Structure 1
């Protein structure tokens, strides 16, 4: 059985007809020729297919395309408008957060989700009990970053660079948003 769906991918509305069993990953790669998300394990275990779906990070191999009908999908290629470089992309290059590059688009989308989740004050398993205080961002320590990025595997082992890149991007985002810096420090400077 087939169904007609519409996805907004990296800012462009795209209509397509897919089998109802088609995953979002296959719709992106096979039907729309969007190559940023990669097919790694096809079981939701490696994270190489991570995209942002309505602003939240998801492994696209586990989402049916029909369930994403009408949604906004952002891939690593669509993070920065008009072909400019996203700060995460620059940080990954500067900190050698990639080697073969296969997992990198998923890593970068996941990292973008991590930055948003921490800024919104969503705790992780690495967040100390009772933190963050209401309305405050979660400080992205190396332990926080490792925990939050743990669903994205890198066969080359570029984890030290990935953690450093996400940390740099978090610090840059804080510097660009004084309210976030104030919230993280509890209002004391």
Structure 2
């Protein structure tokens, strides 16, 4: 089995993986980073979104062996240095952007990339950007409100849709 080395959440990490091992599986099973959720294994739900070399990627759609030397950021690396929630995580808590929590890691990681490329997105832009992330619980309004709040914008007082 090939040995790969990646910078994961700021730390150089090595593991052996079969060529067919998906990044989501390597993170969860080899490296015990279980915050990355596997919801569908077909790249449909977005629960497994991580950042690879600064870009949001559905980790169930890429082989870990292809990422030797890559930088990977997961939900475990999103908290502040003191362990407190970062601004996006806190906004999800404050604005009820989660319910069961299964989709939350992928939503937070997608939101982080969105706010990096568009620091003040409109509600429509947020909804469009999250099209590849599925949530079965919240109705999305809390998630949209959380992302708007994390961007420093006023949160609209819109009833949940």
Same fold (TM over 0.5): yes
Q: 1:69: how far off?
A: 1.1
Q: Does 71-80 or 48-57 show the bigger shift?
A: 71-80
How far residue 72 of structure 1 moved from its aligned partner, in angstroms, is: 1.1
Are residue 63 (structure 1) and residue 44 (structure 2) matched? no
Structure 2: stretches of 5+ with no match in the other structure: 154-161
* Structure 1: gaps (5+ residues): 120-138, 173-189
Distance 1:7 1:80 in 2: 20
RMSD: 1.2
Q: Are the aligned partners of 1:51 and 1:106 in contact in 2 as well (CA < 8 Å)?
A: yes
Whole-angstrom CA distance in 2 between matches of 1:57 and 1:166: 16
The match for 2:143 among 159, 162, 176 is: 162
Q: Mapping of 1:1-189 within 5 angstroms?
A: 2-82=1-81, 83-119=83-119, 139-171=120-152
In structure 2, do the counterparts of structure 1 residues 158 and 75 end up closer, same or farther at CA, with 3 Å as the change threshold? Answer: farther
Q: How many residues align?
A: 152
TM-score, with length taken from structure 2: 0.90
Contact persistence 1:95–1:162 (CA under 8 A): yes
**2: distance between equivalents of 1:140 and 1:171?**
10
In structure 2, distance between residues paired with 1:158 and 1:108: 16
Q: Considering only CA atoms, is the larger Rg found in Structure 1 or Structure 2? A: 1
Distance 1:70 1:29, change over 3 A: same
Could you tell me how far 1:23 is from its partner in structure 2? 0.6
